[in-house]
Amino acid sequence: SYPSMHEVSFRFDSKNLSIFSLGTLFALLFFTIFAGLYAFAPEVLAVAFLDIGQGDSILITSPSGNNMIIDGGPDKSVLSALGRHMPFWERSIDVMLATHPDADHTAGLSYVLDRFHIGAFIDQGKDSGTLTYHTLEQKVADNNVPRFLAKRGMDIDFGDGADFLILYPDKDVSQVPDTNLASIVGKLSYGNTAFILTGDAPKSTEDHLVALDGSRLEANVLKVGHHGSKTSSDPVFVNTVHPQYAVISAGKNNMYGFPATQTIDTLQNEGAKILITFNLGDIVFTSDGNKVMEK
């Protein structure tokens, strides 16, 4: 069940963050030298598009060390992927968000719930009717994780200048005929930099957002919708976002033929650098608030 509220703003305690961030920084630096783990300096946002096969999973780490997982891929491979980007002792994730109930986005989240303490769970209210999603919902309930319904205008404020603003859905999507039509779309911002994260949102949702937000959709990085399917990445939407980088999360030799040639053409015409997980593995960006850097 969801809280009876129209708008929710998540804000993390900055005092606790400063203590956590300092300890984490030294630990990460140590393990980077001796164990090859990632370490990010203060005031840096990190976004990792995880290589989990045919599906989506994104780990966001804010400048103060707070984190958020968006989708979890199709299986427990998300756990090893998280292990590549989180200290081995870390057993908490502040926010878990399921963009829509398809198994290639949500099956792995059940494994994450088994391993990590989750501060809050956000989804879109669309029930796929599948055992996979019902299992996830049950684990959220069994672990007493607060659950929130995604609505346009909800803001996840990390308390350090980074925030994730939900752009869609702006209406009840519980009865839409296609689960992709329920996909949460959000904008992650830090300083003058931004990421547009789209789930499997189709062209109709993209067109709707262009009409609502226009140039406010502009971002450095676009997570390409629906794994590069031709059902997403409308040229007008891509042109409006005008990304420097376009990330496609897809499995090698997947049965769907993702990404579509049509989508690649659209992204190339826009001048975006195309990065695909099945070619590169995990795709990681950092932002200092002024520019986005590909690791």
| pLDDT tens-place string over residues 57-96 | 999 999 999 999 999 999 999 999 999 999 999 999 999 9
- Using the predicted structure, report yes or no on whether residue 216 has a pLDDT greater than 90: yes
CA distance 165 to 143: 26
- Mean pLDDT computed over 227-238: 98
C-alpha distances (whole Å) from 215 to each of 63, 173, 200, 241 are 26, 25, 21, 7
CA distance 5 to 18: 30
Structure tokens at 117: 């303490």
Per the CB < 8 A criterion, the answer to whether 39 and 25 are in contact is yes
pLDDT band at 97 (very low <50, low <70, confident <90, very high): very high
Give the amino acid at 14.
S
| Ramachandran bin of 153, using left for φ above 0, alpha for ψ from -120 to 50, beta for the remaining angles | left
- Mean pLDDT computed over 239-247: 98
Residue 42's pLDDT is what?
54
Per the CB < 8 A criterion, the answer to whether 236 and 207 are in contact is yes
CA neighbor of 59 nearest in space, from 83, 36, 27, 31:
83
Residue 145's pLDDT is what?
98
The H-assigned helical ranges of the chain are 14-35, 77-83, 103-115, 131-142, 203-213, 235-241, 261-270, 277-280
Paired with 287 in beta bridges are 45, 292
At residue 22, φ and ψ (nearest 5 deg) are: -65, -45
Per the CB < 8 A criterion, the answer to whether 64 and 94 are in contact is no
Preceding peptide of 169 cis, ω within 30°: yes
Residue 11's pLDDT is what?
64
CB 162: neighbour CB atoms within 10 A? 27
Q: pTM of the full predicted structure?
A: 0.88
- Using the predicted structure, report yes or no on whether residue 36 has a pLDDT greater than 80: no
Per the CB < 8 A criterion, the answer to whether 76 and 102 are in contact is no
